[in-house]
Amino acid sequence: MCGRFCQVSSAADIAAVFKAESSEISPRYNVAPSQAVVAIVRLPDPDDPQVKSLQWGLIPSWAKDPKIGYKLINARAETVSEKPSFRSAFRKRRCLIPVNGFYEWQQVEGSRQKQPYFIGLQDEGLFAFAGLYEQWGSPGGDVLETCTIITTTANELMAPIHERMPVILAEKEYTQWLDPSFEKIDRLQVLLDPYPASEMKLYPVSSLVNNPKNDSPDCKQPMSRSNHQFSI
């Protein structure tokens, strides 16, 4: 699964990578479900990529209770094209979630505690999760724009920590993923494979990240090997 990540790149960096302009983006070191996230979408008109703020936890357009979003922070790659909650968005409303890394927790052997890890790219660069987004209208006329992150089976780097990982797209795949007119399910499904482990790295971080109220660079600082309890 994916339950926490960080978005710390500047608006200029995001514009350079995704060709989507934004006036201001605040760095976030510990983004949690139900919070606002920066996303890249492409609408039929205009068709240039746009930066949007979306609430993390997808609420389908047909939902009667917005609380369903708490259960839909992730969508499984294996069933995303079939599940009623996601299939319409998978065909028409795909988005990119620009990130600088994400967190996952590993059970400490012989303990009830879990060791958090920070996971990112070897070059420490900006990358993107594959996501979906929806619009939901309340009975009172309010509109919520929400999103989910697609997950897939873990690669060999992630597998010792968790059986799932977020789908990370290569930059060459961004255009096709964002194109709302592209509906070839089989070709979209191919993009949802695990990202190459050789291009990623991870390291243990402190339990500071466990509390979503903590949102500082300290959340992603490496722990010394002598201070963490479990190694992969």
Structure-block tokens of residue 80: 């995303």
- Which residue has better confidence, 164 or 109? 164
φ/ψ region of 57 (left if φ > 0, alpha if ψ in -120 to 50, else beta) reads: left
Asked if 51 contacts 38 with a C-beta cutoff of 8 angstroms, the reply is yes
- Cα(23)–Cα(205) distance, rounded to whole angstroms? 32
Give CA separation, 60 vs 6, 31, 54, 84, 101, in Å. 25, 22, 13, 9, 27
Element (H, E) at 10: none
> Once rounded to an integer, what is the mean pLDDT over residues 168-177?
96
- For residue 179, give the 3-state DSSP assignment: coil
Task: Write down the pLDDT at residue 230.
Answer: 43
At residue 225, does pLDDT exceed 70?
Answer: no
Q: Tens of pLDDT along 189-215?
A: 999 999 999 999 999 999 999 999 999
Q: Which is catalytic among the residues 95, 104, 134, 147? A: 104
Annotated active-site residue 104? The verdict is yes
Instruction: Judge whether residue 139 has pLDDT over 90.
Output: no
CATH number of 5-221: 3.90.1680.10
CA distances from 228 to 62, 116, 156, 183 (A): 45, 9, 21, 46
Distance CA 115, CA 106 (A): 5
145-171 b/e with 16+ CB inside 10 Å = b?
A: bbbbbbbbebbebbeebbebbbbbbee
What pLDDT is attached to residue 46? 66
Residue 23 has pLDDT above 80, yes or no: no
Bridge-based pairing state of the strands 74-76 and 143-153? parallel
Tens-place pLDDT, residues 63-78: 999 999 999 999 999 9
Domain boundaries, the chain: 5-221
